A and B are shown apart, each in its own frame.
Chain A
Amino acid sequence: MTGAEIVVRALTEQGVRHIFGYPGGAVLPIYDALFKQDVIEHVLVRHEQGAAHAAEGYARSTGKPGVVLVTSGPGATNAVTGLTDAMMDSIPLVCITGQVPTHLVGSDAFQECDTVGITRACTKHNFLVKDVSDLARVLHDAFHIATTGRPGPVVVDIPKDVQFKQGGYVGPAEIVHRRYQPRTRGEDARIQQAIALMAAAKRPVFYTGGGVINAGPRAAAALRELVRLTGFPITSTLMGLGAFPASGREWLGMLGMHGTYEANLAMNRCDVMVNIGARFDDRVTGRLDKFSPGSKKIHVDIDPSSINKNVRVDVPVIGDCAEVLEQMIAAWKAGNHQADKAALIAWWAQVDAWRARRSLAYKRSEETIKPQYAVERLYQLTRGRNTYITTEVGQHQMWAAQHYHFEEPNRWMTSGGLGTMGYGIPAAVGVQVAHPDALVIDVAGEASVLMTMQELSTAVQYRLPIKIFILNNEYMGMVRQWQQLLHGGRYSHSYSEALPDFVKLAEAYGAKGIRAQKPSELDSAIQQMIDHPGPVIFDCVVDKLENCYPMIPSGAAHDEMILPDQDDSPGVTEAGKMLV
């Protein structure tokens, strides 16, 4: 068997059915091996960054690892943004890169780059396979590392001569993963401490994150049960949306910089915080010395380095969210624990008072489409369907997180940690490949979308009916908002003076273009988009200067939010400006 055939066999035995890639000189033998089989379907992207994001969308919507195949040099460097994105958001990817033949490595050969050197900091692990007899083991190892513990991207760099050489194959069952065995079960003593704190809590809150999604549907089910058992309010990070249903009574909405008033105030005033699979990111905590000053903090995370990294916690529990949540439920039931009902009634009264503030409200308009209104209508017209939402990065992303509501995990694909503009279209491609009959919508901004627009061509080629729903305000909206709030309204280079006609652009790609400019025509236009069987660009012309609220300004605490009906003078300090 040649190295290239080993690659295809290993992928097949790992259960891979779709890969996202782009051919080139240094991976031709693998492409030749792909040509001779029909188990794995290859999706040809238009840029390697798109391959990585598509694999991320595929992984995040299925729970299976996404697989990328690219060539050496520019193929590998183009994939770096996607790899870094997957690293930051803990998405399991296996990225196979071609490399120049071993005898040319280090000679500055054509399309050579130091792939393992370049990707060392943006992968969970990477390999350069110099000997074909290592190849099968390394590939299985790559899947093991990508998918266990805290998931992440793994690069396997394979020189062209290794792809041609004859070598032996070993199957995944024959491999002993001796060295990487992350702990998944929480320590019992810690679980007991956590449960005791929760049972005694007067003002508790669950703060959950992407870890619950990554731990699979079992984790989301356990989370729902634990919330039901305790009756505590629950909020989530951007990455964790959908783990708990937005229609649930205990749901407070997203927290953080653009989170709801009730979520952030509950975090600020709670006495017990139960963090499940979130990492105290700076967009969530705001000002650290005023972050939830009076609470005891429980932190469940599979990665020990997340514990005490930004915020000191009282009860760390290292383990997989699904397993630890199930342990917590068992311990809660076994100990016959009851939440403090009287205290909870008072706490809920307080939370409901914050809720009544209606922090996501906005001024409606008959003339122009408010972006929040557009997302609201999109939600109303697509709810109940089998819908998956991806986003780009910016204001539209926050509006989607605020106004689109998720009932299930794995339905929401967004670039949280890295904040990668251009994520949404390729991610939608990946989601649609995994779920051909679903309605897949990229809630986009007109600036982000131009970064990876070429992937619409991929969607057309593979008849993937993705819908690109652009909230078009002609500005890089979040940049403009920050310039307004922090830089005296000097809109330095945040206005796109020459945008394409998105309807014609869609037609040029062989897709359908739809435009809506008035609130009155929005619903029928959205319905037209949903009903169209192919890919669509929806150019939703929205209010140009709408700001995304509520907002915790830089350097401020959770209880110092700007709410939508206040004026735009947040009192950002000089120190705050440095935080971006």
Chain B
Amino acid sequence: MTTQPASAYFMVDAAERETKATLAILVDNEVGALARVVGLFSGRGYNIESLTVAETDHQKHTSRITIVTRGTPAIIEQIKAQLGRLIPVQRVVDLAVDKPGLEREMALVKVSGDGEKRAEALRLSEVFRARVIDITHTSFIFELTGAPQKIDAFVELMIPLGMVEYSRTGVVAISRGADAL
């Protein structure tokens, strides 16, 4: 009749599946605000799959942090509540649950090669609507924007075609519709 785990030391609830959460966190842009958020995740043993942060309101000194994390619904609720305890945190919204949102990521992908591989890389980049932002006789740098899965798929395709390295921003997310957070 109860689904509580045996002890607080082993708080893994087998009955609940882990899900992904995309948390949009509005914080006062002050020294150490990001360290508080990141420290909370490491200190309490939560995982960060991706993190982006930038100031979004210069006048009000507000920054927006987007964190992708995983956990059971109870863990996600606990993460949100713990974030809410941090003084600089103004608001926390789960863009997977509270407000359905859109996610985008940008990647810069460097591919080196020649001959047919080079041509194939360029062809595929067009299919993915990637832009070429740097070009030499032996390399391209593509700029690609899209959902994380799209970036994954593109990178996967570029590996055999001579991918040298790539850099991605991590997820930024926003809720659908006319309202702000």
Chain A residues within CB distance 8 Å of chain B: 116-117, 120-121, 124-126, 128, 145, 150, 179-180, 282, 285, 287-289, 291, 293-294, 303-305, 307-312, 555, 575, 578-579
Contact = CB atoms under 8 A, between A and B. Distances in A.
A578 B6 CA distance: 12
Contacts of B78: 305, 308-309
Contact of A288 (B5, B36, B84, B88): B5
Q: Which 8 A-B pairs have the closest CB atoms?
A: A305-B81, A288-B4, A125-B87, A282-B8, A289-B4, A304-B81, A310-B8, A305-B82
Contact of B8 (A126, A285, A575): A285
A271 to B, nearest CB: 13
B124 interface: no
Contact of A287 (B1, B7, B31): B7
Interface string B1-33: 111111111010000000000000000100110
Contacts of A288: 4-8
Contacts of A310: 8, 11
Nearest to B35: A120
Contacts of A309: 78, 81
Residue in B4, B28, B39 whose Cβ sees the most chain A Cβ within 10 Å:
B4
A145 B86 CA distance: 11
B2 to A, nearest CB: 5
Contact of B87 (A179, A289, A578): A179
B85 interface: yes
A117 B43 CA distance: 13
Contacts of B87: 124-125, 145, 179-180
13 contacts: A116-B32, A117-B35, A128-B31, A179-B87, A179-B88, A179-B90, A180-B87, A282-B8, A288-B7, A289-B5, A308-B77, A310-B8, A312-B4
Given A305-B85, A308-B78, A179 B28 contact: yes
B102 interface: no
A143 B31 CA distance: 20
B135 interface: no
Nearest to B36: A120
Interface of B: 1-9, 11, 28, 31-32, 35-36, 39, 43, 74, 77-78, 81-82, 84-85, 87-88, 90
Given A120-B36, A121-B43, A304-B81, A578 B2 contact: no
B6 A308 contact: no
A117 B32 CA distance: 8
B9 A282 contact: yes
A291 B4 CA distance: 8
Contacts of A120: 32, 35-36, 39
Main secondary structure of the interface of A (DSSP, over half): loop
Contacts, number: 69
A126 B77 CA distance: 25
B31 A303 contact: no
Contacts of B90: 179
Contact of B1 (A121, A179, A291, A293): A293
A304 B35 contact: no
A179 B39 CA distance: 21
Contacts of B35: 117, 120
B7 A555 contact: yes
B137 to A, nearest CB: 45
Residue in B35, B78, B87 whose Cβ sees the most chain A Cβ within 10 Å:
B87
Contacts of B84: 304-305
Contacts of A180: 87
A289 B6 CA distance: 5
B63 to A, nearest CB: 14
Contacts of B36: 120
Nearest to A130: B31
Contact of B74 (A116, A145, A285, A308): A308
A578 B9 contact: yes
B30 to A, nearest CB: 9
Nearest to A285: B8
A310 B2 CA distance: 13
Contacts of B77: 308
Given A289-B3, A304-B81, 11 more contacts: A116-B32, A124-B85, A128-B32, A282-B7, A282-B9, A287-B7, A289-B4, A304-B84, A308-B78, A310-B8, A312-B4
Contacts of B4: 288-289, 291, 311-312
Nearest to A289: B4
Nearest to A554: B7
A199 B160 CA distance: 70
Given A117-B35, A120-B36, A305-B85, A579 B28 contact: no
Contacts of B28: 179
A121 to B, nearest CB: 5
B166 to A, nearest CB: 32
Contacts of B74: 308, 312
